[in-house]
Amino acid sequence: MSANQFQNPVVRWIDHRLPIFSFLNHEATEYPTPKNLNYFWNFGSLAGISLVIMIITGIVLSMNYTAHVDYAFDSVERIMRDVNHGWLLRYIHMNGASFFFIVVFIHIFRGLYYGSYKAPRELLWMLGVVILLLMMATAFMGYVLPWGQMSFWGATVITNLFSAIPFAGEGIVTWLWGGFSVDNPTLNRFFSLHYLLPFVIVGVVILHLVALHRFGSNNPLGIDTRGPQDTIPFHPYYTIKDFFGLSVFLTFFAAAVFFFPNFMGHPDNYIPANALQTPAHIVPEWYFLPFYAILRAVPDKLGGVLAMFGAIAVLFILPWLDRSPVRSGRFRPIFKIFFWVFFADCLVLGYIGAMPAEGIYVVIGRVATIWYFLHFLLILPILSVAETPRPLPQSISTPVFGGSGAMAGAAAAPKRKVE
Amino acid sequence: MKKLFLTLATAVLTASFSNVPVLAAGGGDVVLRQADWSFSGPFGTFDKASMQRGFQAYTEVCAGCHSMNYIAFRNLADLGYNEAEIKAIAAEYEVVDGPNDEGEMFTRNGIPADRIPAPYPNELAARAANNGAYPPDLSLIVKARANGADYLYSLLTSYEDAPAGTAVPEGMYYNAAYSGHMIAMPQPLYGDDVEYADGADTSMDAVAKDLVNFMAWTAEPALEERKRTGVAVMIFLVLLSGLSFGAMRFIWADVKKTRA
Amino acid sequence: MAASKTNKAALVAEQKSRRDFIVVATYAMGAVGAGAFAWPLIDQMNPAADTLALASIEVDVSKIAEGQSITLKWRGKPVFIRHRTKTEIDEALRDDALDMRDPQVDSDRVQKPEYLVVLGVCTHLGCVPLGQKVGEVRGEYDGWFCPCHGSHYDSSGRIRKGPAPTNLEVPPYSFLSDDVIKIG
C-alpha cells in the first residue's frame, strides 16, 4: 500500500501527498468482493449511475426552465420544442425518475431477501432507507415543476398531508406553501429544494458506500467471507459485470425514452395547472402508489398519514425485528414463502393505489395494508425464533449442493446459529 | 435465482402496467374507435400531406374557437412547406405587436417567428363567447388525453342523437365518445366542410383523421427525430450489451473454473 | 510432450490477447456512447430554435432626422443607426486613406452613405459606446467614445484610438425599400 506501487512519477508524487490513487486502488480495484454475487448485486451500481444521469440531465434542464407559475409550463414546452435536443433531455429525466425507482426497489427487495440489513450492516441499511426518503421527496418536488394539472394537484394533496398534524398542522401547511394555496412561492421553493436534495442524496450515498466497504458486500449465501479464497478483486471482475449490467439497463431505459416516453406519466400533466378544477382521477406517480394505498386504507386523516410514514419508518427498525441469525432467504424455507407473499402484497398495494377508493378496492387495500405491517411487526419476529433454517455451507468456496462431499457445512450450521 | 429474477421482472412489468386502467379511465363508459396511425410504432412517421390538410381543416373549422398556442408559423416547415410558403401563410394573419415608439400596441402581418394567433385574448373572453365553456388549446391535446389520437378521432366522429329518454340541456350536445356524453362543443364536422386543393376525401371520417394527424404533430413535433434516434441508440446498446457480455465471460473464465 | 506444452502456452497467449481485445473494445465502445451522450448536453446551450427565428428585425429609417441616431435591440444587443450629415460622410471618406488599426474604407461599411448601421458594442470588452444622444461625448473622431476603456470610433464606426482591436461590427442588413431596413 505504499505510494511507490505506482509507475507514473506524477501519480506517485501526488499520491504521496494526497493519497487519492491509493484510496481508489484500495476501494475500487483491489477491494475484495465475494466471488458468488448474482445479478441482483448489479442494482447498487445501477442506482448510483441513475443518480448521476438524473443530476446531469437535471442540471442542463434547469438551464432552460423557468420556475414561475406563468412560465413554468411554457418553458417546459419550449424545452420540448425549441431547445436543441431538449425533448431528449426531458424524456431522459422524466423516465429516469421511474427507472431510478425501479432499480432502487429491486435493490431493496434484494436486501430483504438476502438479509443484507442484518448485523453488522444495520447502519448501511438505515442509510439506504434515508436515501429512499430523500428520493421520494426529490421526485415529488420534481413532478411539481412542469406545473401541469397533476403537478398542481399532487402538490396540493401531498402538502395537505401535513395538515393532519394536531394543532400545528394548518400553520405548517401555510408555511410550506408560503401562502394560502399552492402557488408561485411553493413552486419556487420546490425548485430550489429539488435542485438541492440530489446533492444531499450524493452525500448519503457516500456514507452508504463507506458503511458498505467496512464489511464488504453481503452475498447470496449470506455467510461471511472467510479469506482470499472466497473473494475476488472488484476490478476487473465486477467492473465488467457492472458494465454489462449497465448496458442491459440502458437498453431498457432507452426503449422507454425513445418509444414509450409518456407511458409512465399521466396525460393530465399536459394540461396547464388550474387551481379551480381538479382532474377526475388524481393518482401519484407509480412509485408512490403502494404508499398512497396505505394512506387511503386508514379511514382517519391523521391515522392515514401516520400509517404511510410508518410504512417507511418500520424499515428503519427492520434489523431488530428480524433476529434470525441466518441472513439469506435461501436457507430459510418459511421466510422465503412469506417474502414472496410480502412482495405480492406490495404489488397489490401498488395496484390498489391506482384504483379509485371505492367498493372492493377499499377492502383489499385495508387487508393489504394490515398484511404489510403484520409482515414486519409479527411474522418476522416470530420466524426469527420459530423457523429452523436449512444447513449453511461452510464457506463461499465450499458449495453445499451439487458438489462432492461438501456437506461439511451441515455440521457447522448449528454452531453458526448461536453466534 | 433465475426464477427469482423472472418473477421480479414480471412483477415490475405488472406494476407498470397497473397504470393502464388509470390512463384509460378518461371515461369508463366510452369505447373508442381506433385507426391505424402512421405515427405509431417504433418506425412511425408523420403523413405530411394529411397534416397539411389537417392544418387547413384546423384553420377553417377549429381555429375560430380553439387556439394553437405552442405552434409558430416557422414550425410548419415540418409539414413540408417551404420558406416562401410559410411567409405567405404567416402574412395572412394579423399579429398584435408593440408597444411602438408612441407606446401604442399595433397590428402587423405575421412573420414566420410568430405563434399562430389565438382566437380570444384570454380565457375569460373565450368563456364569454362560448356559453361559459372554455375551448381548450389544441397544441398538446393529443398528449393531454388518454389514447389521445383515437380519442380525438372518436370524439370528432361520434356526435349522435341522444338515446330516447336522455334530455340534452340547452347549449349541450350528445357525443358517444365523450365522458358523460354531454359536450359543450357543437358538432364541428359534417362531411365536405372543407375543400382540399389536392382533391383528397373530405368525408367526416377522412377530415377527422387529417385533423388528428395534424394535432399529433403539434403535440409532439420531435416524434420522428425521437424514433429515428431511438432505433440507432437501441442498435448501439444491444451491440454493447453483447460485446460486454462476451468480455465478462472472458474475464470471469478463470473464476468459474476454481468455483466448480 | 514439450511440443504440446508450447502449443498450450501459445493457445493461452492467443486467448489472452483475444480477451484483452474484446475487453478494450467493450470499454472503448462505452466511451464512444458516453461521448455521444455528451453532445446533447453541450448543444442544449446553443441558441434554441425560437431564439434563432427571432434573429431579424425591420426598421423604418425615414423618421431619423439628419444628424440623429437611433438605438435598436437586435439579438439582445444594441444596433446603432445614424443618419449621417454631409460633414460626417465627408470626414469618413477623407480618412479612408489614413493608416488605421483595422483598415476599411467607408464604402465597404455602408450600403447608403446617409445611413450607418453598426452594432453598438465596443470590440474591446463589450461595453456600449457613448455618442448616440445629442450632447453626448462622441470621442475625438466625431463618432463614438467608449467610456469603459477609452476607445474612440470615427463617423464610420472605425477604431481610431484606444484599446479596441477592430472596427464596430456591421450587422448583416438589407434595404427592403428606400426607407425600410431589415437587420439579420
Written as tens digits, the pLDDT of chain B (260 aa) is: 445 555 555 554 444 444 443 333 344 567 899 999 999 999 999 999 999 999 999 999 999 999 999 999 999 999 999 999 999 999 999 999 888 778 899 898 898 999 999 999 999 999 999 988 999 999 999 999 999 999 999 999 999 999 988 889 988 999 999 988 999 999 999 999 999 999 999 999 999 999 999 999 999 999 999 999 999 999 999 999 999 999 999 999 888 655 44
**Low-confidence residues in chain A, pLDDT < 70:** 1-4, 399-419
Q: Which residue has the higher pLDDT, C134 or A123?
A: A123
What is the per-residue pLDDT for A203?
98
Query: What is the third-level CATH fold of B29-71+115-221?
Result: Cytochrome Bc1 Complex; Chain D, domain 2 (1.10.760)
Q: What is the DSSP string of C21-69?
A: HHHHHHHHHHHHHHHHHHHHHHHTTSPPHHHHHT--EEEE-TTSPTT-E
ipTM tops the 0.85 cut: yes
C24 in contact with chain A, both atoms CB, cutoff 8 A: no
B145: closest chain A residue by CA: A267
Chain C contacts to B (CB-CB under 8 A):
18-19, 22-23, 25-26, 29-30, 33, 49-50, 53-54
Would you please indicate which residues of A are annotated as catalytic (active-site) residues?
Answer: 213, 217, 241-242, 285
Q: Note the pTM of the prediction, 2 decimals.
A: 0.88
Report the candidate in C131, C138, C81, C130 with the shortest Cα–Cα distance to residue C110. C81
Best CATH choice for the domain C51-183 from the list 2.40.50.1020, 2.102.10.10, 3.40.50.720, 3.30.200.20: 2.102.10.10
Domain-wise residue ranges, chain B: 29-71+115-221, 222-260
**First and final C-alpha spacing in chain A:** 33
Chain B interface test: which of C14, C18, C21, C22 (most B C-beta within 10 Å): C22
Angle at A210 between CA A21 and CA A8, to 5 degrees: 5
A263 in contact with chain B, both atoms CB, cutoff 8 A: yes
Closest chain A C-alpha to C23 CA, distance in angstroms: 8
Q: Is the distance from CB of A110 to CB of A125 less than 8 angstroms?
A: no
Residue C11 pLDDT level (bands cut at 50, 70, 90): confident
A-to-B residue pairs, Cβ atoms closer than 8 angstroms:
134
Q: Is the distance from CB of A120 to CB of A126 less than 8 angstroms?
A: no
> Per the structure block, which three cell numbers stand in for A133?
426518503
Chains that touch B (3 or more CB pairs under 8 A): A, C
The reply to whether residue A78 touches residue C46, judged by beta carbons under 8 angstroms, is no
> Per the structure block, which three cell numbers stand in for A69?
407559475
What is the per-residue pLDDT for B160?
92
Using CB atoms, pick whichever of B42, B144, B258 lies closest to residue A267: B144
C72: closest chain B residue by CA: B101
The Cα-based distances of C31 to A137, B240, B246, C38, C114 in angstroms read 33, 11, 17, 10, 58
Q: What is the pLDDT of residues A372-397, one digit of tens each?
A: 999 999 999 999 999 999 999 988 88
Report the candidate in B77, B96, B97 with the shortest Cα–Cα distance to residue B86. B77
Chain C interface test: which of B78, B234, B240 (most C C-beta within 10 Å): B240
**CATH architecture of structural domain A29-263:** Up-down Bundle (1.20)
Domain-wise residue ranges, chain A: 29-263, 289-392
C32: closest chain B residue by CA: B236
pLDDT > 90 in chain C, percent? 58
| Residues making up chain C, counted from first to last | 184
pLDDT > 70 in chain C, percent? 97
What is the C-alpha to C-alpha distance for residues A102 and A140, in angstroms, rounded to an integer? 16
The reply to whether residue A84 touches residue C43, judged by beta carbons under 8 angstroms, is yes
* Cross-strand pairs, C181: C59, C175
- Tell me which chain B residues have a C-beta less than 8 angstroms from the C-beta of C22: 243, 246-247, 250
Q: Which residue has the cell 435591440?
A: C73
Asked if residue C55 has pLDDT above 80, the reply is no
Residue C75 pLDDT level (bands cut at 50, 70, 90): confident
Q: What is the DSSP string of A60-124?
A: HHHTT---STTTHHHHHHHHHHTSTTHHHHHHHHHHHHHHHHHHHHHHHHHHHHTTTTSTT-HHH
Would you please indicate which residues of C are annotated as catalytic (active-site) residues?
Answer: 149
What is the per-residue pLDDT for C9?
81
C40: closest chain A residue by CA: A85
CB-based burial, B71-97: b 16+ in 10 Å, e otherwise? bbbbbbebbebeeeebbebbeebebee
Helix ranges (H only) for chain C are 2-43, 49-53, 86-94
Strands C159-161 and B106-109: unpaired
